[in-house]
Amino acid sequence: MKKLLQAVTLEEFERLCRDGKRRELLRGEVRELMPSKSWHGSTTMKLSVSLGHFILSKRLGEVFAAETGFVLEREPDTLRAPDFAFIRAERLPKPMPNLFLPIVPDLAVETIAENDRPQEIADKIAEWLDSGVRLVWAVDPQRKTVTVHRPGVEPRVLKVGDCLEGEEVIPGFRLALAEIFT
């Protein structure tokens, strides 16, 4: 008979991660994250710089880098770290605690790596939306597309030649995809 492993709690996960390796926690199961290759890193950074500058210059809220953990579920615990995240100012805890954030972002950006399996990406996007994220962008450097996901709405695929917009989540933000896929 196969022995069932005990689910790892968020507190145990935090102790485990002191070795510096990147991981996520999915319903109590620890998942190691592979380092990204150049297209992933470059595309994510170009988008992050444009988006972050816009958000911070307008004082719309706070931006978070890829290593930031967000608690999506407890018992069993799920902690995810998108490639970029944004939380509107009015939703931010004051003062900002130095811990895995117990609130979900308004925007989560997932940049698809060549070793990511399509079902894993679909599951991650569904988790973000089910947790209350208002807008998820799935950025695909290989196909040069961004798929826009919103709760209860069919995903929309944008290509080079299209513009990515922040909609009501980041009002006024607009970026030509050609700027991140060069």
- Say which residues have a Cβ less than 8 Å from residue 168's Cβ, sequence separation at least 6: none
The CA distance from 64 to 48, in Å, is: 9
- The pLDDT score that the predictor gives to residue 149 is 98
**Residue 157, beta-bridge partner list:** 147
Q: What is the band of 4 on the pLDDT scale with cuts at 50, 70, 90?
A: very low
Which residue, among 79, 75, 68, 72, has the nearest Cα to 30 in the 3D structure? 79
Which residue, among 71, 173, 55, 51, has the nearest Cα to 111 in the 3D structure? 51
Dump pLDDT digits (tens) for 122-143: 999 999 999 999 999 999 999 9
The CA distance from 128 to 108, in Å, is: 7
The two three-digit tokens of residue 73, written as one number = 């579920």
**Residue 140, beta-bridge partner list:** 145
Domain ranges of the chain: 37-179
**CATH code reported for the domain at 37-179:** 3.90.1570.10
Is 75:176 a contact under the CB 8 Å cutoff? no
Task: Quickly list H helices, the chain.
Answer: 10-16, 38-57, 118-130
- The pLDDT score that the predictor gives to residue 80 is 86
- The pLDDT score that the predictor gives to residue 97 is 85
Q: What is the band of 3 on the pLDDT scale with cuts at 50, 70, 90?
A: very low
Dump pLDDT digits (tens) for 56-109: 999 999 999 888 888 888 888 778 889 999 999 999 988 988 888 899 999 999
- Residue 175 φ then ψ, to 5°: -145, 125
Dump pLDDT digits (tens) for 9-50: 767 676 666 666 666 666 666 666 665 656 767 898 899 999
Strands 61-65 and 84-88 turn out to be: antiparallel
- The pLDDT score that the predictor gives to residue 128 is 94
10 Å CB burial of residue 160 (0-12, 13-18, 19+) is middle
